[in-house]
Structure 1
Amino acid sequence: MDLRLFRVASTDESDPVPQNLKISPDERAAFLATQQSLKMARSAHAFVRGSTVSFYEWLETGRVTDIPTGPAIWICGDCHLGNLGPLANAKGKVDIQIRDLDQTVIGNPAHDLIRLSLSLASAARGSDLPGVTTARMLEEMIRGYGLALREPGPDDLVPEPSVVRSVRRRALGRRWDHLARERIQDISPAIPLGQKFWALADEERQAIAALFKEPEIKRLVLTLNARADTSKIEVVDAAYWMKGCSSLGKLRYAVLVEVIDSRQKTYALIDIKEAVEAAAPPHPSADMPAHYGARVVAGARALSPNLGNRMLAANLMGHPVIIRELMPQDLKLEVDQFSRTQAVEAARYLAYVVGRAHARQMDKAVRAEWSNELERRHPADLNAPNWLWSSVVSLAAKHEEGYLEHCRRYALEAV
């Protein structure tokens, strides 16, 4: 396969990979590297989302030195706009929570605020909004986050903006057939190979079959949707899954499982994802699981219970992995264009969601101390806290430079 030709020809987000594509296990690494470059070159916002490692490198070497040090709690570590959205719990109740915890560590909660601020600022620039809107967004972020620290109980203290409300409504109306048609393009019990799903090597197929014979995995599948404990589960099909951006190049599998009880047969779609070392810096005294997958599960259960309680850590062919069942209600927030009002409302609400995830790990005294620290660093005559504004300005410049260099390298390689 000539990957150079594919790099030039495939630039449309709606159809990034030819439908009849066949990728052998030996070809995956080169192809996935190409795909990651393509995705990150599509826009500056896409580059921000896909450059977590660079984010922390630039944050450490930047000129911002007054970032507050918050309590040592589990943080997302990659808290950008696309990593929040509706998530269903084991009983199907839907809440807006953090939906990707690959980078989670016990660290500084200020890092989540900076990462989310940069993501929202990038989305605002992509929507051609003026800089004053970005300043208002950061101001409202601190306001929404502060409300969560003061009162972590009610989930409606900050009203949902329209861009979030529409996604939640769509999530509430989704069932298995929606998930099946979206993910595997059919509701029949098979995973179609081609655009997103590729054939497995014999070793992979055997390892996945063995994994699903383990009692813990069976319990995970039967926990959801009130399935009977006496049900049997059987792997119907499995495939390598080309999905995401930051996960490209790592092991990723989709597994279709049949659940059989005395009344009926149902199906579950299981996501197996390789867990790797986090780029986010941990707190010096952090006591976290050494197993990368166990670290992700622990962080997810602290930050996003709806997701964390549906996950398990395991090993597959010597690699640490995270296993979870996909639910039809799980969606990401995809915002192509913000209006000024939407941008400000979204900033306040999403910071409130992150604040609730942080606050549930703190007692009242710690919440008050962290809230006071944020207030102390928030001069009344500024539209946004100086440390947050300076961080976003510095990082936005670094990411813009990095994005243009990425595109230049990509273009030169494609010729």
Structure 2
Amino acid sequence: MSKLIERILKFNQGLLPEMLPYKYEAMAENPFRFYRGTCHLFYEDLQMEKAIAASPLTWICGDLHLENFGSYRGENGLVYFDLNDFDESVLAPASFEVVRLITSIFIGFDSLDIEQKKADKMARLFLKTYSTTLAAGKAISIEPRTAKGIVRDFLTAAEKSKAKDLLEKRTEKKSKKLVLSLTDERHFKLDRKLKADLTSHISDWISTSSDGPYNYKVKGCVFRLAGTGSIGVKRYLFLLKSTNTRNNYLLIDMKQSRPSSVSPFVHCKQPAWAAESERIITAQRHLQNVTPSLLSTTDFRGDTYVIQELQPVKDSIKFKMIRDQYRDLYLVIDDMALLTASAQLRSGGRGGSAIIDELSAFGKNPDWQEPLLDYARKYAATVKKYYNQYIRSYEAGKLTR
């Protein structure tokens, strides 16, 4: 067995064994999907590049790539486009976030057969907008009124999304009652005891948590499969029905929180978290302009979880949709750079992060940019080699143990 496969198998120990085949299948789709599913490899390798770490400390989402930006409805009722995955979040050098994103540009564009010249141009655009925004020292948010191009269209469509549309995708009628659909390939039936315990647990959360919705009752739950890197964690979807309003439903996602794959390779002192779920939602509140509704944490059977509403408006930009729309790509990358810098500025001075003045000075200093670009370009080639090794092993059945 190759060293690469040993690294992958070792990292995925502890995940649900019955779900790992779905993860390994997803990672085999293309190099970009493989990159999304192997965040740990990226940081294991990055630890050797001391020059990349020479940047101010800030909060990072940890797994920033082209498809970890998207739309959601904030707790204030407005729709935003922002960073949207915080499972790997830690306090770390600001450049960690940037180099992971830029590497994803090179990998993503290559996976879509977009020429290297355009990938280089987009990577430089990202760096220019990121550093300019950081240098200005002012965080900016993106909502329908301030968005442009395809992101504006994306958010405008999201605003029009209705809860009933999401319910139609996730539920079905049985004996005139609405239930979570088990024909959905992302939904799996739970054993009777676990389902009963989960129902009781969320019922208690509704009645006792200040973050929970009022006057709702649990009507069903299933195991939920989602993402790439997070496939294999314990994750559940609940259907809640209002006890006050006729035909009013909520869908609630409850996702297991695991240690960040970045943290072993970050040598600065981290806050003393009571639980991994606390780390995740604290970082999310630091980095996002407005957090989504019902964001909460809970403990269940010895594990900690993040709870939030599954929304009809929550979605991510899929780059396959816009591969032939170069102008749209330009605008989207520009927005992503602006949001990355804004998230770091927003968290400036919080929980050990560098203050805004230090982040601004980093943005004004061009010396770090070319080494970072070179590393991202070379590491994208490394990922492609990893992927080819992985495919050979996957097809030979070496990821089944």
Letter of the structure 2 residue corresponding to residue 405 of structure 1: Q
Assess if the C-alpha contact under 8 Å between 1:301 and 1:309 holds in 2. no
Return the match for 1:244 from 224, 227, 251.
Answer: 227
- Quote how far apart the aligned CAs of 1:273 are: 0.5
Letter of the structure 2 residue corresponding to residue 366 of structure 1: I
Letter of the structure 2 residue corresponding to residue 373 of structure 1: F
Q: Which residue in the other structure is 2:59 paired with? A: 74
Number of residue pairs aligned between Structure 1 and Structure 2: 372
Does structure 1 residue 206 correspond to structure 2 residue 196?
Answer: yes
Q: Normalising to structure 1: TM-score of the pair? A: 0.82
Q: Which residue in the other structure is 2:278 paired with? A: 294
Return the match for 1:373 from 354, 359, 362.
Answer: 362
Assess if the C-alpha contact under 8 Å between 1:133 and 1:344 holds in 2. no
Assess if the C-alpha contact under 8 Å between 1:94 and 1:172 holds in 2. yes
Q: Which residue in the other structure is 1:5 paired with? A: none
With over 3 angstroms needed to count, the CA separation of the structure-2 counterparts of 1:216 and 1:399, relative to structure 1, is: farther
C-alpha distance in 2, partners of 1:216/1:308?
20
Q: How does 1:134-145 map to 2 (within 5 A)?
A: 134-145=119-130
Assess if the C-alpha contact under 8 Å between 2:206 and 2:216 holds in 1. no
Assess if the C-alpha contact under 8 Å between 1:85 and 1:331 holds in 2. yes
C-alpha distance in 1, partners of 2:232/2:210?
29
Assess if the C-alpha contact under 8 Å between 1:254 and 1:272 holds in 2. yes
C-alpha distance in 1, partners of 2:199/2:359?
47
Assess if the C-alpha contact under 8 Å between 1:255 and 1:270 holds in 2. yes
Return the match for 1:343 from 318, 326, 329.
Answer: 329
% same residue? 20
C-alpha distance in 1, partners of 2:172/2:247?
20
Letter of the structure 2 residue corresponding to residue 406 of structure 1: Y
Does structure 1 residue 413 correspond to structure 2 residue 397?
Answer: yes
Superimposed CA distance per residue, residues 342-389 of structure 1 (whole angstroms, 9 cap, x where no aligned partner): 3333222101111111111226x933432333432348xxxxx21221
Does structure 1 residue 356 correspond to structure 2 residue 342?
Answer: yes
With over 3 angstroms needed to count, the CA separation of the structure-2 counterparts of 1:406 and 1:290, relative to structure 1, is: farther
- Quote how far apart the aligned CAs of 1:100 are: 1.1
Superimposed CA distance per residue, residues 380-399 of structure 1 (whole angstroms, 9 cap, x where no aligned partner): xxxxx212212212211221
* Deviates further, 315-324 or 338-347: 338-347
- Quote how far apart the aligned CAs of 1:308 are: 5.6
C-alpha distance in 1, partners of 2:169/2:289?
25
What value does the CA root-mean-square deviation take over the aligned residues? 2.8
Assess if the C-alpha contact under 8 Å between 2:62 and 2:89 holds in 1. yes
Does structure 1 residue 110 correspond to structure 2 residue 95?
Answer: yes
- Quote how far apart the aligned CAs of 1:139 are: 1.7
Return the match for 1:220 from 192, 211, 215.
Answer: 211
Q: Which residue in the other structure is 1:235 paired with? A: 218
C-alpha distance in 1, partners of 2:300/2:163?
27
Assess if the C-alpha contact under 8 Å between 1:72 and 1:283 holds in 2. no
With over 3 angstroms needed to count, the CA separation of the structure-2 counterparts of 1:69 and 1:184, relative to structure 1, is: farther
- Quote how far apart the aligned CAs of 1:184 are: 3.5
C-alpha distance in 2, partners of 1:237/1:196?
15
C-alpha distance in 2, partners of 1:321/1:371?
35
Secondary structure at the aligned position of 2:377 is classed as helix
C-alpha distance in 2, partners of 1:131/1:159?
31
- Quote how far apart the aligned CAs of 1:116 are: 1.1
Q: How does 1:167-178 map to 2 (within 5 A)?
A: 167-178=154-165
Q: Normalising to structure 2: TM-score of the pair? A: 0.84
